[in-house]
Structure 1
Amino acid sequence: MTVIDIPGSKSVTARALFLAAAADGTTTLLRPLSSDDTEGFAEGLTTLGYEVGRTPDAWRITGRPTGPAVAAADVYCRDGATTGRFLPALAAAGHGDFRFDASPQLRRRPLGPLTEALRTLGVDLRHEEAEGHHPLRIAAAGIKGGDLTLDAGQSSQFLTALLLLAPLTAEGLRITVTDLVSEPYVEITLAMMRAFGAEPTRDGDVFTVPPTGYRATTYAIEPDASTSSYFFAAAALTGREVTVEGLGTGALQGDLRFVEVLRRMGARVDIAADRTTVRGTGRLGGLTVNMRDISDTMPTLAAIAPFADGPVRIEDVANTRLKECDRLDACAENLRRLGITATTGPDRLEIHPGTPRPAEITTYGDHRMVMSFAVTALRTPGITFDDPGCVRKTFPDFHHVFGAFRGRS
């Protein structure tokens, strides 16, 4: 059995940074993810005037329930979607003039449903170039609160940003959602808000959050379930056994459900209270699977699909076209480059069995392209990547850790 030490969850770390900054007191985050995305988020908080102290194993954030400590700031969000969507909501709850910009990659990704919701709440917000995209400028003067209707069909992060904001408003928020993808990420948000003293409730499509504010706490970051998917898939593909500790039946992250997909394909899966183990059986079966709620693991499944004994059809993942790249087309194009038959539709990807041949993977600067097709490379020597370093976004040591796994007998 191989035990893999997976770094902290990107999604949990980003939410914890927002909550800590908004809380009354000093919060300690244990084992937070240190990567380009999360370091960019912490840097953004510092630019907004929050006190952030970082050591290898713990970050300490002194919160400000009244908002940023500076009257004006220019925040660069790098490539981080959580940074570029959460920090404007945090700044809007304070007072001052705040500008947010991002990398060309993040500038392409949508913001419109979130920024329209903030305008509905009375926030003076202006997109400087393309409407609904970075860069944007906010003249913040606090938020009263009230009722909202939100379409979160492109990204659950729009809803998460508003939920995180809600306890900081004067009257709270009542949000009616008309469409929602990646719903488990919203459940992460609600659970973490409660851990910091908020009292969100959900009744079907309606989320109600009173203006409680937040309390500082000590919060441990669980390992990243999306990152774990590459090692679980590697075990299923190679017939080996992999255990990730710290991810079990009580895990917050819905992407742990990827192991159930592997179970359906023939792998043996054991989920205990504090760990998850996957063991390959020498067989991968084809299947049709809806991955709407775990779409970040879609590329992982695509990467091992050629080795299944029947077609793999992935459905209801239109939102992956709006990630760091168009992941549906990127996966299909790279699979074809490997000699595999792959077809796409507006929200689906179908992959037929075959023997991949060596080729260079076009990453489009997307960390998940590299980490997913690194799994394919376990059975296809000679696969290379045009930008292997883009894994720094979420897992800077990926190549070292995955290489060590690959080299173990």
Structure 2
Amino acid sequence: MTVIEIPGSKSVTARALFLAAAADGSTVLERPLVSDDTEGFAEGLVRLGYRVDRAPGRWRIEGRPAGPGAAEAEVYCRDGATTARFLPTLAAAGHGTFRFDASAQMRRRPLAPLTRALQELGVDLVHEGAQGHHPLRIAASGIKGGDITLDAGQSSQYLTALLMLGPLTAEGLSIDVTDLVSAPYIEITLAMMRSFGVDVAREGTVFTVPPGGYRATVYPVEPDASTASYFFAAAAVTGREITVPGLGTDALQGDLGFVDVLGRMGAEVRTTSTGTTVTGPDRLQGLTVNMRDISDTMPTLAAIAPFAAGPVRIEDVGNTRVKECDRLDACAQNLRALGIEVATGPDWIEIRPGTPEPAAVTTHGDHRIVMSFAVTGLRTPGITFDDPGCVRKTFPDFHEVFTALRRAW
């Protein structure tokens, strides 16, 4: 049995940084993810006037319930979607003038449902370029709160940002959600808000968030389930066994559900209170699967699909077209380059069984494309990447860890 230590969750680390910054007191994050995205988030907090002390395995954040300490600031969000969506929302609850910009990749990704909701709450927010995209400027003067309607069909991060904002408003928020993708991420948000002292009421599609702020705490960050998917897939496609400690029955992240997909394909899956183990079968079976709730793991499944005994059809993943790249097209393009027959539609991809041939993978600067097709490379030596370093976004040491795994096997 091979045991793999996975770095901390990006989703959990980003939420914890927001909540710690908003809390009354000093919060300690244990084992946060250290990557380009989370470093960018922490740097953004510092530019806004928050104190963030980063020691190995332990970050301390001094909360400011009244909002940013800086009266003016310019924040560069890099490639980070959580940074680009959460930090403007946090700043909007304070007082001051704040400008946010991001990389060319992040500038292409949509913000409109979130920024429109902030404007409806009275926030003075102006897009300096294309509407609904970075860069943007906020003249913050606090937020009263109230009732809003939100379409979170492109990204659950819009809803997460507003949920976390709610306790910082004067009167709280009532959010009626008309559409929602990646719903398990909202469960992460709600559970973490409870850890920081806030209970959100939910009735049907309406979330009611009380005012009153957050309290500081010590918060351990669990391993990243999306990152773990590459190692679970590695076991599944090679017939070997991998255990990831720290992702057990009490894990917050919905992307751990990827192992259930592997189970449907014939892998043996064992989840305990302390971790999850996947053992691969002689050959994976094909299937049709809805991955709306775990769409970040769609590329992982697509990358191992050619090795299944039958077609693999992945449905209801249209939101992956507005991630770091159009992931549906990127997966199809690269699988075809490997000699695999693929069909796609607006929100689905179907991959036929085949024997991948070595080729250069076009990454589109997307960390998940690199890590997914690295798994394909376990069965197809000679696969290369045009931008292997883009894994720094969430897992800077990925190639070293994956190479060590390959050598161990």
- TM-score, length of structure 2 as denominator length: 1.00
Supply the AA of the counterpart residue of 2:38.
T
Identity of aligned residues (%): 78
Alignment of 1:104-115 (within 5 A): 104-115=104-115
TM superposition shift of 1:25:
0.3
- The aligned counterpart of 2:239 is 239
- The aligned counterpart of 1:26 is 26
2:100 aligned with 1:100: yes
- The aligned counterpart of 2:372 is 372
2:35 aligned with 1:35: yes
- The aligned counterpart of 2:204 is 204
2:173 aligned with 1:166: no
CA contact (8 A) 1:199 1:212 kept: no
- The aligned counterpart of 1:259 is 259
CA contact (8 A) 1:153 1:180 kept: yes
Alignment of 1:148-187 (within 5 A): 148-187=148-187
CA contact (8 A) 1:160 1:186 kept: yes
Query: Alpha-carbon deviations, 1:51-75, whole Å to 9, x = none?
Result: 0000111000000000000100000
CA contact (8 A) 1:197 1:212 kept: no
Alignment of 1:38-77 (within 5 A): 38-77=38-77
Query: Alpha-carbon deviations, 1:230-257, whole Å to 9, x = none?
Result: 0000000001100000001100000000
- The aligned counterpart of 1:289 is 289
- The aligned counterpart of 2:349 is 349
Q: Distance in 2 between matches of 1:213 and 1:136?
A: 26
- The aligned counterpart of 1:221 is 221
SS of equivalent to 1:354: coil
Query: Alpha-carbon deviations, 1:175-215, whole Å to 9, x = none?
Result: 00000000000000000001000121111211000002000
Q: Distance in 2 between matches of 1:337 and 1:55?
A: 43
Q: Distance in 1 between matches of 2:391 and 2:213?
A: 35
SS of equivalent to 1:277: strand
- The aligned counterpart of 1:131 is 131
Q: Distance in 2 between matches of 1:149 and 1:93?
A: 19
Q: Which runs of 4+ in 1 moved over 2 A?
A: none
Aligned positions, number = 409
Q: Distance in 2 between matches of 1:76 and 1:278?
A: 39
Query: Alpha-carbon deviations, 1:320-368, whole Å to 9, x = none?
Result: 0000000000000000000000111000000000000000000000000
Supply the AA of the counterpart residue of 1:253.
Q
SS of equivalent to 2:24: coil
Q: Distance in 1 between matches of 2:373 and 2:344?
A: 18
SS of equivalent to 2:97: strand
- The aligned counterpart of 2:392 is 392
TM superposition shift of 1:282:
1.3
Query: Alpha-carbon deviations, 1:275-331, whole Å to 9, x = none?
Result: 000001211000000000000000000000000000000000000000000000000
Q: Distance in 1 between matches of 2:362 and 2:35?
A: 22
Q: Distance in 1 between matches of 2:339 and 2:283?
A: 21
TM superposition shift of 1:32:
0.1
CA contact (8 A) 1:201 1:209 kept: yes
- The aligned counterpart of 1:331 is 331
Supply the AA of the counterpart residue of 1:403.
T
TM superposition shift of 1:219:
0.2
Q: Distance in 1 between matches of 2:255 and 2:390?
A: 21
Q: Distance in 1 between matches of 2:64 and 2:247?
A: 31
Q: Distance in 2 between matches of 1:71 and 1:321?
A: 37
SS of equivalent to 2:44: helix
- The aligned counterpart of 2:122 is 122
- The aligned counterpart of 1:89 is 89
Supply the AA of the counterpart residue of 1:340.
I
TM superposition shift of 1:274:
1.5
Supply the AA of the counterpart residue of 1:45.
L
Supply the AA of the counterpart residue of 1:280.
G
SS of equivalent to 2:178: strand
Query: Alpha-carbon deviations, 1:15-71, whole Å to 9, x = none?
Result: 000000000000000000000000000000000000000011100000000000010
Q: Distance in 2 between matches of 1:177 and 1:124?
A: 23
2:280 aligned with 1:280: yes
Q: Distance in 1 between matches of 2:251 and 2:281?
A: 25
In structure 1, runs of 5+ residues without a counterpart are none
Q: Distance in 1 between matches of 2:343 and 2:104?
A: 28
Supply the AA of the counterpart residue of 1:214.
Y
